[in-house]
Structure 1
Amino acid sequence: MEQTVSNEIKSSGEAEPSSSRHGPPKREFNPSRAEIEDHVRWWKLFKAIRQNDWKGVADFIRLNPALLTEPIKVYERETVFHVISRELSAPPWLIKTLVSDVNPNTLEQLTDQDDESALFMALLYTAIERLQKPLWGNLHNIQYLSTTFTGAAFDLLKKYPDLVSKTEDRGSVLEALANKPLAFASGSQLGYLQQLVYHCIPVQEEHIYFPGSVVRDVENQYENSKRFSFFGCIRRHIFPAFAVVCMKLHLMLWHAIMTLVPGIKLIRDTKLMHKQTVEIVRLMCHEGVIWSTDEALKSLRVPILTATRLGIYEIVREILDAYYYSYCFWDENGHAIFHIAIIHRQEKVFSLLNKLDLFLWEWKAASKDEKTDNILHLTGRLVPSDQVPGAALQMQKELKWFKAVKSYVHPSLQEQRNGSNKTPKEVFTEEHKELVKEGEKWMKETASSCIVAAALIITVVFAAAFTLPGGNDNDGTPNFLSKKSFKAFIIFDALALFSSSASLLMFMGIVASRYSEEDFLEYLPKNFIMGHIALLLSVICMMIAFGEAMFMILSHKWLPLYLPLSFVGCLTMILFSRLQFPLLIEMFLSTYGRSMF
């Protein structure tokens, strides 16, 4: 290497700051005579690039064709391709012209002082679309592209499918993708509303053609019909056209929504990235390859084990389809994907393996009276998780996991003892002792806070029932008795009292619970849910009763104040709901949602 970045200590004693690997190098620039001469030779090129004179750049290379492959040593060793790849305004025609003048083999050997090719620099500066096929042959470049610019990698592999067959080590690409859970739908962390939009929004508009496959599929519904009546002919031609029109309108509607709400476009882009990443995995696993045992062990073992641990079932599914015995791969601890899915509580992977009827000998075969851990012992181990809010919810999830797996295994395995002479249930109890204590503390603290809130609401609405707005006459009859708003006030005040009282009783039941393991499965969560719903209802009814009271009092001269006060009351209800709803929904879905598998 002819030119390196200086790391020496300055004469004043101050150390030279280290440079970023891919950033501009930092050095004391004391150019030598050779560097000055080199700069003189290249200065016309640098000037043309700085002025965006791309015709001038092409003319400079045309007059000096030998310089196209010579190293530039003005500041650090690099080539013309490295310099131009950093210029995002460089036109594609210039890249095509330069690439066509160099042999592809020579092109791949042109590296800078960090031994990085022009393609890698283009990837770094997002200049992907300006490069041509000869630059894509390097495996490191394909791997970097697949994990960093999924859309570009998908388009490139789709345009040049032979690049997949030329990839020598597909395992590197699969392993890199297996460590990117956010690149897959199974690893995305979307909220409930975002998930709803994610499942509804279309992402395949560019693959829909008119009259296309939709028309063909619809017409196939009629091709077996033996009745060719007049109305049948009309239906056969009108219905497909109507379907295509509806589809077009549907896409136009989503495009309008994405224009008005940028967040929805972000969700659409995320979904498109997920689909493209899965397609890249499918190409790497299936395109132009029949896996032998040695090749599968080398390339597929680490990706499938990593994907199982992180819950990326898309990769697991494709690798299982690509090589039949991939489910037999083991990690350094002697665990296969089945055991890893259980240990790390990956529901989707476990469900996939269950549907494929894999590892039947692990759970359907009878116990051989061996003092070893079976899958129930593995399920009984505690797995810390930062994705479950609250110790009580985590304990509920652990119980659901244990009971779900227990329902699958052979009955003899449920009482089998391991090397420590413990049954699976005993292992579960011992491993989760601290979690039970943490869950009890969390439940009691939350219930106590809600008890205070419910008690305050009871006090307020109970007093309001006997201190009526407008007062009473001499006979004790309310002065506003004839008004409709008074009746609404009484009804909602009573509802607030009843619901807050019910909430208080529910939370007192939680505080007084015995907190056994089984209580965390249904009893405590159900009381928690009903108590929170009742508390939320009491707050809403109390604010409505307050609004009706304000309307009766301010219904004359001060009526303009009613709307601002009502708006503030609505903000209070919205704030309370926003604070309580996420936890309530999480608990509701965990308790009443779909089964574990």
Structure 2
Amino acid sequence: MATNNQSTEQDTFINPTPLDVDPLYQAARRVSGESAERTLAPTAAIISEDERIRFKYYHQLHLAALKGNWEAAKGYFQDNVPNAFTEEISSTRMNALLVASCNGHTKFVEMLVKRMPEEALQKRGPGGYTALHHAAIGGHLKMAKALIRKNPGLTQITDNSGNTPLLCAVLLFSRHKLVRYLALATTIEKPERPFSGCKAGDLMVNLTHMGFHVPVHDEDDPLGASDQDLVAEKQSQTNEAKTQAYQGVKKVLWRRIKYLVPCISKVGEKKLGHERACKLVHLCLKALFNYNERVRVKYFNEQEILHYAACCGVLEIVTASLHYFPDLIFSKHGSMILKNAIQWRQEKIFNLACKNTALDKMLATQCYKPSISHLAAQLPTNRQLSVDSCAALQMQREVQWYKAIETIQHPRMKQLTSAKGKTAFDFFSENRKQMRENAEKWMKDTSDSCMLVSTLIATVAFAVAFTVPGGINDQGIPIFVNKTSFRIFVYSDALALFSSVTSILMFLSILTSSYKEEDFHRALPERMIIGLASLFVAIATMMVAFGAALVIILSERLKWVWGPLIFLASFPVTLFIMLQLPLFIEMVQSTYGSIFQREKIWKRSGHRDATDPLY
């Protein structure tokens, strides 16, 4: 019982003695001879006796604010302790409001805000953070609302780094609802102007990373509807002459369609997100267009917009930036675009620098020394390699990149050596030794397995050709030669034999290949494609021949045998398609579908209006 009483006494305080009239506090001031207003840096190793007494006096308040225990703290905020709201109660120069907000105690903060004067809410703590900064960083919406209702100017106060609470919330990935609320509460008023300048650029970039430019579904949306519904409603109101009844019917139908066919909603969201992102890019660049050249250059250099856009393959940002500011192509950004595209294997960005104009050739020669072929000889990032499903396709893509880069540089560059006396292709081969071995192993293992299946099919198809169902008569003519099912059996069996033999030859040629780097460009993938296609035809026609043979034998007694046979025969064929078709399609696309298509940097694109400087 004593322990419980002691705990209760420690956590509950009622009307403590005011600090200004506390005998112990006054004695400490007289002994120390120092002013009570003297403060030391938070990082100081020694504090004054006056401060030690003050921190001891407010120690229980500090603990209560850390715990969010209002009952234990409210005694300090009676009329006899007027400075308790603003007094620094910790060595880090934080008052009770800052301590509670930093630890996420919304209820405690709300009780303090009701009793504190408006100006006291602007108190800054370590890093220059106010209580609203703490609420923004922690993602506490109710806390932020309470603070802003009492002092709307808190949204304009910046920390030591010049960040508003809104920017802090975005930088530290707070909740979407809080970010929306702060965005509406923050104004463009001086002196900070959070929606202009370089800080505005940071805000827009991080808002985009958080996904605020794409549709967001939230059942508790404070606006009462999801972004998708709002945008759909706005798009449906383009014609002012439409009646409200028509709008309501259209909205209901759209929601029903999304409910019945969810994939339509996903496609619409993806397209809408892309359109929003493009529009956001143009709005940002349009705003930057009004600044002088020095500010623009500084912004592009500090934010590294073109660098990240080229690395991530965001073609729209690159083309839009060069559309508004064409001179960027003649700066370091021009060669950086091509260099990043090659290093990160972004074919869309690389397509902007084909061998078409003098500008393209200059970019190709200035991009890397001694040549861009040496740059292509370096290994790409693992993230880009993981896009291709197997080692053979990875090797094929690398060879495709190397050959494509060779087409935009002078032939003499092929023999140009580096400081180590090696050509670009020498580096290419050395860097991809392990990759080539992995691709070779994958090709051999796949060919071995597929050739075994093809051999079994060929053996069966060859034997069945001389043991036809139903037998033969005395003249050696098959008994059921005039039946349609027999002709189907003969044709399918012959096709199965020819296809399986073709497949065997293709896989055998793969096994006996020399596996040079150039072989992975076209020769080996083409043989694998033909081999897989022939194997599929062989399996399908073998099942057709088997089904036709059963029909010939059983059709006289079991006339309903057609249906079950067709179903059972289609099952293994369908299973083979499901398992092997993705690989087959990927190899066909990678081999015959060129990823390198010429693009124009300053092409006409969407999202233009009359305010566009180049409209």
TM-score, normalization: structure 2? 0.61
* Amino acid aligned to 2:309: A
Q: What is the aligned partner in structure 2 of residue 461 from structure 1?
A: 461
Shift of 1:143: 7.4
- Note the alpha carbon deviations across 1:373-404, whole angstroms, 9 max, x for none: 22121112232511122222222212221221
Is 1:375 the counterpart of 2:372? The answer is: yes
Give the count of matched residue pairs. 481
User: SS state of the match for residue 267, structure 1?
Assistant: helix
CA distance in 1, matches of 2:300, 2:365: 31
Q: What is the aligned partner in structure 2 of residue 512 from structure 1?
A: 512
Shift of 1:174: 5.9
**Cα distance 1:553–1:300, how it changes in 2: closer, same or farther (>3 A)?**
farther
CA distance in 2, matches of 1:407, 1:267: 37
CA contact 2:448–2:507 (8 Å) conserved in 1: yes
Structure 2 unpaired stretches of 5+: 1-58, 75-85, 88-93, 108-112, 157-162, 215-229, 598-615
CA distance in 2, matches of 1:357, 1:404: 18
CA contact 2:285–2:321 (8 Å) conserved in 1: yes
Shift of 1:510: 1.4
CA contact 1:377–1:424 (8 Å) conserved in 2: yes
* Amino acid aligned to 2:445: E
User: SS state of the match for residue 465, structure 2?
Assistant: helix
Mean alpha-carbon deviation: is it higher for 585-594 or for 304-313?
304-313
CA distance in 2, matches of 1:375, 1:306: 20
CA contact 1:497–1:538 (8 Å) conserved in 2: yes
Shift of 1:459: 1.7
Shift of 1:581: 1.1
Pairs within 5 Å for 1:329-478: 336-354=336-354, 360-363=361-364, 372-384=369-381, 385-478=385-478
- Note the alpha carbon deviations across 1:185-233, whole angstroms, 9 max, x for none: 9xxxxxxxxxxxxxxxxx97545457749x9xxxxxxxxxxxxxxxxxx
CA contact 2:123–2:130 (8 Å) conserved in 1: no
CA distance in 2, matches of 1:108, 1:320: 45
CA distance in 2, matches of 1:541, 1:161: 72
Q: What is the aligned partner in structure 2 of residue 304 from structure 1?
A: 306
CA contact 1:143–1:173 (8 Å) conserved in 2: no
CA contact 2:440–2:515 (8 Å) conserved in 1: yes
- Note the alpha carbon deviations across 1:506-540, whole angstroms, 9 max, x for none: 11111122222222111111111111111111112
Is 1:172 the counterpart of 2:202? The answer is: yes
* Amino acid aligned to 1:544: V
Is 1:315 the counterpart of 2:312? The answer is: no
CA distance in 1, matches of 2:553, 2:312: 61
Give percent identity, aligned residues only. Answer: 29
CA distance in 2, matches of 1:285, 1:524: 47
RMSD: 5.4
- Note the alpha carbon deviations across 1:409-440, whole angstroms, 9 max, x for none: 23343333222223333333333333333322
Pairs within 5 Å for 1:90-489: 116-119=133-136, 139=164, 141-142=166-167, 165-166=195-196, 168-173=198-203, 176=206, 205-208=232-235, 212=239, 258-287=258-287, 289-290=290-291, 292-293=293-294, 296-298=297-299, 300-301=301-302, 302-324=304-326, 326-327=328-329, 336-354=336-354, 360-363=361-364, 372-384=369-381, 385-489=385-489
TM-score, normalization: structure 1? 0.63
Shift of 1:172: 2.7
Structure 1 unpaired stretches of 5+: 1-30, 44-68, 85-97, 186-202, 216-240
CA contact 1:395–1:436 (8 Å) conserved in 2: yes
* Amino acid aligned to 2:371: N
CA contact 1:291–1:323 (8 Å) conserved in 2: no
* Amino acid aligned to 2:364: W
Q: What is the aligned partner in structure 1 of residue 100 from structure 2?
A: 77
- Note the alpha carbon deviations across 1:456-475, whole angstroms, 9 max, x for none: 11122222323333334454
**Cα distance 1:496–1:420, how it changes in 2: closer, same or farther (>3 A)?**
same
Q: What is the aligned partner in structure 1 of residue 494 from structure 2?
A: 494
Q: What is the aligned partner in structure 2 of residue 22 from structure 1?
A: none
* Amino acid aligned to 2:202: S
CA contact 1:175–1:303 (8 Å) conserved in 2: no
Mean alpha-carbon deviation: is it higher for 270-279 or for 445-454?
270-279
CA contact 1:154–1:276 (8 Å) conserved in 2: no
CA contact 1:376–1:406 (8 Å) conserved in 2: yes
Greater C-alpha radius of gyration: 2
